Amino acid sequence: MEVTPEVRSQMSEIIDRYPNSRSALMPLLHLAQSIDDEVTPEAMEVIADALGLTTAEVAAVATFYTMYKRKPVGRHHIGVCTNTLCALLGGDAVYDAVSERLGAGHDQTDVDGTFWLERIECQAACTHAPVMTVDWEFMDNQTPASAVDIIDRLARGEQVQSTRGPVIRDFQATEHTLAFPVDGLAGEGGEADDIMLAGLTYAREHGMSAPAAPGGDA
């Protein structure tokens, strides 16, 4: 990770958010991925130095959480959920089709290093299973054919809209958002639909509410 004056400034801005500087570790790792599309050993040293940690402490976090990669991700991260509900509704078939299209397996890139494929855990998006993510933006209700079509369109450089988020940018742009969450894109994408709100609607219709939190409002 090349530590330009701009990068140094961004690191300071992140560190200054927290009363304890080591709390900045995870967003700094996302910042590193926004610069290099991976967390390099050099980035771990820079971050350790900035936070007064050992490189072993930084590496312990960077190797524990699967969102941090130690090989180049490429332009787009493709996640396919194969947890229970997505699997029941065809997630494994979606994964197999995308894997065949890319010629890549779990945590591998395609041959030219443009797409990274990963089996991902439940994204709390089960109402619209099977779910695929592109650079962590949702692509709901996928089929093998629709998932491969998304890959094809991205490969041709076409604009692809998340089903409930912004137009797809790329992995490094998403990583920058994870380091600096206020990116002006929160209002893009559709509103919550009837299926997403079914539980809340049912609760309201039946006069149900959550118990009050101890010492605060419900």
The rounded distance, in Å, linking the Cα atoms of 184 and 200 is: 27
- CB-side neighbour CA atoms (13 Å) of 97: 18
Which one, 53 or 86, has the nearer CB to ligand FES? 86
Q: Which is it for strands 115-120 and 76-81: parallel, antiparallel or unpaired?
A: parallel
| Closest distance of CB 162 from ligand FES, Å | 15
The total of other beta-carbon atoms located within 10 Å of residue 108's CB is: 15
Q: Mind giving me the DSSP string for 113-180?
A: S-EEEEEE---S-GGG-S-EEETTEEE-S--HHHHHHHHHHHHTT---B-TTSPBP--HHHHHHHHHS
Which one, 10 or 99, has the nearer CB to ligand FES? 99
Which one, 85 or 185, has the nearer CB to ligand FES? 85
| Closest distance of CB 58 from ligand FES, Å | 30
Q: Note the residues at the interface with ligand FES (CB under 6 A).
A: 81, 83-86, 122-123, 125-126, 129, 131
The rounded distance, in Å, linking the Cα atoms of 191 and 187 is: 9
The rounded distance, in Å, linking the Cα atoms of 12 and 21 is: 10
The rounded distance, in Å, linking the Cα atoms of 43 and 24 is: 14
| Token couple for 77 | 């991260």
| Token couple for 78 | 């493709």
Which one, 83 or 146, has the nearer CB to ligand FES? 83
Which one, 75 or 77, has the nearer CB to ligand FES? 77
Which one, 92 or 183, has the nearer CB to ligand FES? 92
